[in-house]
Amino acid sequence: MTRPVLIRMHAADNVAVVGNDGGLPEGTVVPDGPTLREKLPQAHKVALADIAQGAEVRRYGVVIGRALKPISAGSWVHERLLEMPTARTLSGLPMATVRPPALPPLDGHSFQGYRNADGSVGTRNLLAITTTVQCVAGVLDHALERIRRELLPQYRYVDGVVGLEHSYGCGVAIDAPDAVIPIRTLRHISQNPNFGGEVMVLSLGCEKLQPERLLPPGSMAIGAGLPSQVRLQDERHVGFASMIDSIMSTAEHHLQRLDLRRRETVPASELVVGLQCGGSDAFSGITANPAVGFCSDLLVRAGATVMFSEVTEVRDAVEQLTSRAATPELAQRIIDEMAWYDAYLARGRVDRSANTTPGNKAGGLSNIVEKAMGSIIKSGTAPISGVVSAGERVCTRGLNYAATPASDFICGTLQLAAGMNLHVFTTGRGTPYGLAECPVIKIATRSELARRWHDLMDLDAGPIAEGRASIEDLGWALFRLMLDVASGKRTWAETHGLANSLVLFNPAPVT
């Protein structure tokens, strides 16, 4: 029989997680540990000692719940045995109290990127066609197919063409205060570094989100050309073919300019990395996320920009965030973002516990507190030097907290708006997630998933659980992979052409 592996995250923990592929059978004798009273699936928790009714259950050194009934040593500790702690209030939090020792600079690492006129750097050379309203999506899809077939083969230095389609633009309360979020999200995505400063807008004509409202004068990045526009309701368009011709000739103008761009050697400090997890399990916080956290510190040391996000997945660790903020002002901005989100959830009569999925629970995560502790490890140990509101652009190097929902597509969309040029995504349950706008490196938390999805997962963090690799080894492997992907190496999602839709965060009413 294989050696039983129980993973305990902190000396104060009274539960540990089963590390073995396939779980462990009833009666397993764990050296220096309990004898299992029942069969335990991989990634699920076992009680290391007897836990009395009402007593604290600790993982990561943090209370993840109280026992609803007595739990004997060696028993399975699952969500039906735990009462979830209430959320910490947002008053009296430690403000910028932790001064982590300064990390030594990390020099000498570079990648091959596309330098833009505004100083930003792209990792891909894409033509993006911005849209003002969903009404144009069908026409755009038709044009995109012809651009790919008829135009792209002539422009070998252009990596692809992307339609920035979305459900916003009309039928919405566009003057509601919260409408600023979807509008600035679209504005900033159209200026993502991977699009080379070439902005082409496709509009209908009668929609609420007029092109001038989407991209008002002065909103364009320095050095970018003026946005070009095609408007389907223009009287010069007689019939469908005229619209398609107009889109294609405008696209060709931008393709000619993009085709002149070449990759050049740029320092690793030009990376703008968005970190995210999705389809999490109890291994996320043991293997993949700690490796990402180590890599996040490497990126910060190299002078790069790193974002971690997902409000509901860090809400239960808010004091870790406010204490790690570089200044009391940044700590207050974190609190303001959390308070806004608490109120947003309360309007819908839910709270942060609405986050967890059936898959999370089947993967051993009992509740949002346990999920949050495993999620926040992605952020490493650096001070938080910036806070980015939903749809805003990141403007500070180092570690940033970008406040976004945890929904994979909405988080990815908002990180694109923030200026992300490389995305890192960890998953335990498995998701084929990808974006057309930016490469996504996917990391499996378990080797079983990495083997089964061998042509979907870009990195396997499972060896950490089995003691075959260290967190540092995997963190460095990810760092090197990031430089390769930023230089043009294709991810599995790119190889297969897998891309999810942009999904806007619109907290304002629709009409």
Question: Residues interacting with Ca ion, by CB under 5 A?
Answer: 278, 406, 408
For 420-455, b/e burial (b = at least 16 CB within 10 A) is bbbbbbbbbbbbebbbbbbbbbbbbbbbbbbeebee
Q: Which is nearer to Ca ion, 390 or 406 (CB)?
A: 406
Q: What is the rounded distance in angstroms from the CA atom of residue 81 to the CA atom of residue 71?
A: 8
Q: Work out how close the CB of 310 gets to Ca ion at its nearest, in angstroms, rounded to a whole number.
A: 5
Q: Which is nearer to Ca ion, 408 or 437 (CB)?
A: 408
Dihedral of alpha carbons 329, 189, 314, 373, sign? negative
Q: Work out how close the CB of 376 gets to Ca ion at its nearest, in angstroms, rounded to a whole number.
A: 13
- Are the CB atoms for 6 and 16 separated by under 8 Å? yes
Q: Which is nearer to Ca ion, 65 or 278 (CB)?
A: 278
Q: What is the rounded distance in angstroms from the CA atom of residue 68 to the CA atom of residue 174?
A: 48
Q: Work out how close the CB of 500 gets to Ca ion at its nearest, in angstroms, rounded to a whole number.
A: 12
Q: Which is nearer to Ca ion, 127 or 403 (CB)?
A: 403
Q: How far does the chain reach from its first CA to its final CA, in angstroms? A: 62
Alpha carbon dihedral 410, 315, 77, 284, in 10-degree steps, equals 50
Q: Which is nearer to Ca ion, 116 or 427 (CB)?
A: 427
Dihedral of alpha carbons 93, 96, 100, 101, sign? negative
Q: Which is nearer to Ca ion, 147 or 440 (CB)?
A: 440
Q: Work out how close the CB of 277 gets to Ca ion at its nearest, in angstroms, rounded to a whole number.
A: 6
Q: Which is nearer to Ca ion, 120 or 276 (CB)?
A: 276
Nearest to 366 by CA among 46, 51, 54: 46
- The residue number with the shortest CB distance to Ca ion is 278
Q: Work out how close the CB of 279 gets to Ca ion at its nearest, in angstroms, rounded to a whole number.
A: 8
Q: Work out how close the CB of 378 gets to Ca ion at its nearest, in angstroms, rounded to a whole number.
A: 11
Alpha carbon dihedral 312, 370, 279, 490, in 10-degree steps, equals 90
Q: Work out how close the CB of 503 gets to Ca ion at its nearest, in angstroms, rounded to a whole number.
A: 12
Task: For residue 175, count other CB atoms closer than 10 A to its CB.
Answer: 9
Residue found by looking up tokens 């995305």 in the block: 423
